[in-house]
């Protein structure tokens, strides 16, 4: 089991020799950025004890508008709103009593980028942007249609299986884990082999400030979890591998990997 929790762990990760965004090694004289993963705008100032990865400046540049919006979105969970409305970057469309949709942010893309950073930090290898994956976001997704918006249904059976895998293997102390930002962020994962094609996939769960509470309770709250596999189907050599167990772990909240 790999665990990144203390400052010395994060200092080592800052010295990786590749850019986690493009996967290429740094060359002499290239302009380098230090990228907070997730961006520092997501966290209150007192919680900024971050995971930082080096990137090419050019690779990192494109993401700052999304970073700012993600900071404001997650800030809602702790009641933080920009003091000047002119600084608000979120477009909010009200859908009825106490329900609103945010219409201008690619949450899936942002979380995927962070997962690629977590993979690089844990396994010291890049995770390509294009690979098979499924992510269940911590709040409901809606798509525009002729009636306005409709909620994208949760892939419930798959999600429940991921949550159970994380909870069971956490109880066995068999998950790879990153905890940072004063423990306001927890990322956990365990690798499982597909019974059909024998390829390995990484089942992961991510919590930031109990962010599932931003989802509408009427539409079914859920935690963030998902799976990805590397293009060649390998498992990093030192990664936590799924252990099946007949021991029942508490799971009264089967949609929340960090719930009871």
Structure tokens at 177: 């884990």
Instruction: Please say which residue, 21 or 90, places its beta carbon nearer to Zn ion.
Output: 21
Structure tokens at 232: 């060649």
How far is 99 from 120, CA to CA, in rounded Å?
Answer: 37
Q: Is the peptide bond before 38 cis (omega within 30 degrees of 0)?
A: yes
Beta carbon of residue 61, minimum distance to Zn ion (angstroms, whole number): 10
Structure tokens at 206: 């991510």
Residues 93 and 100 sit within 8 Å (Cβ to Cβ): yes
Structure tokens at 207: 């919590």
Instruction: Please say which residue, 58 or 81, places its beta carbon nearer to Zn ion.
Output: 58
Query: Which residues make up the interface to Zn ion (CB under 5 A)?
Result: 19, 21-22, 56, 59
Structure tokens at 240: 């936590």
Beta carbon of residue 30, minimum distance to Zn ion (angstroms, whole number): 9
Instruction: Please say which residue, 26 or 149, places its beta carbon nearer to Zn ion.
Output: 26
Beta carbon of residue 58, minimum distance to Zn ion (angstroms, whole number): 7
How far is 148 from 83, CA to CA, in rounded Å?
Answer: 31
Q: Give me Rg for the CA atoms of the chain.
A: 18
Instruction: Please say which residue, 22 or 161, places its beta carbon nearer to Zn ion.
Output: 22
Instruction: Please say which residue, 75 or 117, places its beta carbon nearer to Zn ion.
Output: 117
Beta carbon of residue 42, minimum distance to Zn ion (angstroms, whole number): 22
3-class DSSP assignment, residue 156:
helix
Among 215, 43, 69, 193, CA closest to 142: 215
3-class DSSP assignment, residue 50:
coil
Beta carbon of residue 81, minimum distance to Zn ion (angstroms, whole number): 34
* CA distances, 50 to each of 8, 41, 154, 157 (Å): 12, 11, 31, 34
Instruction: Please say which residue, 10 or 18, places its beta carbon nearer to Zn ion.
Output: 18
Beta carbon of residue 115, minimum distance to Zn ion (angstroms, whole number): 17
């Amino acid at each position: 089991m790999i665990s990144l929790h203390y400052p010395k762990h994060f200092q080592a990760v800052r010295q990786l020799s590749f850019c986690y965004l493009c996967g290429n090694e740094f060359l002499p004289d290239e302009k380098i950025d230090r990228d907070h993963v997730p961006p520092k705008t997501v966290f209150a100032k007192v919680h900024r004890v971050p995971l930082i990865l080096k990137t090419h400046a050019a690779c990192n540049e494109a993401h700052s508008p999304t970073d700012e919006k993600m900071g404001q979105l997650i800030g809602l969970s702790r009641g933080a709103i920009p003091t000047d409305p002119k600084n608000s970057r979120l477009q909010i469309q009200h859908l009825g009593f106490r329900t609103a949709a945010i219409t201008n942010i690619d949450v899936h893309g942002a979380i995927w980028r962070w997962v690629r950073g977590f993979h690089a930090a844990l396994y010291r290898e890049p995770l390509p942007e294009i690979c098979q994956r499924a992510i269940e976001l911590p709040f409901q997704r809606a798509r525009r249609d002729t009636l306005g918006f409709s909620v994208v249904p949760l892939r419930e059976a798959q999600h429940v299986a991921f949550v159970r895998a994380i909870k069971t293997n956490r109880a066995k102390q068999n998950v790879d884990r990153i905890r940072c930002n004063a423990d306001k962020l927890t990322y956990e994962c365990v690798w499982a082999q597909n019974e059909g094609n024998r390829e390995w996939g990484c089942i992961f769960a991510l919590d930031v400030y109990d962010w599932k509470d931003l989802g509408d309770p009427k539409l079914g709250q859920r935690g963030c979890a998902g799976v990805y596999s590397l293009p060649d189907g390998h498992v990093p050599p030192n990664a936590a591998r799924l252990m099946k167990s007949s021991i029942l772990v508490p799971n009264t909240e089967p949609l929340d990997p960090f719930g009871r």
